[in-house]
């Protein structure tokens, strides 16, 4: 999976610190997710991110095509 959270945050003009503050998700969790340093994410966290940013899961996570 390719994580596109950084692009969505830039497009919406939201910092990771603001996202963390407003959603209650830790800055560390957002940073790790954003930098693809996490192996899993809960549906609850993903839902909070998507609801806050008014986007879909497909905007944040994109499947990478294997060759």
Distance CA 5, CA 33 (A): 8
Residues 6+ apart with CB under 8 A from 63: 1, 2
Distance CA 67, CA 55 (A): 28
Least confident of 9-18, 45-54, 57-66: 57-66
The pLDDT score that the predictor gives to residue 63 is: 84
Question: Confidence class of residue 20 from pLDDT cuts 50, 70 and 90?
Answer: very high
The pLDDT score that the predictor gives to residue 65 is: 74
**1, two tokens:** 């999976």
Contact call for residues 43 and 50 (beta carbons, < 8 A): no
Three-state DSSP state, 62: strand
- pLDDT tens digit string along 25-52? 999 999 999 988 988 889 999 999 999 9
* Domain 2-58 belongs in CATH node 1.10.260.40: yes
């Amino acid at each position: 999976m390719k994580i596109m959270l950084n692009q969505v945050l830039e497009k919406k003009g939201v910092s990771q610190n603001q996202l963390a503050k407003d959603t209650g998700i830790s800055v560390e969790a957002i940073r790790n997710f954003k930098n693809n340093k996490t192996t899993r994410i809960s549906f609850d966290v993903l839902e909070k991110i998507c609801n806050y940013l008014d986007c879909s899961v497909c905007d944040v996570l994109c499947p990478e095509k294997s060759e």
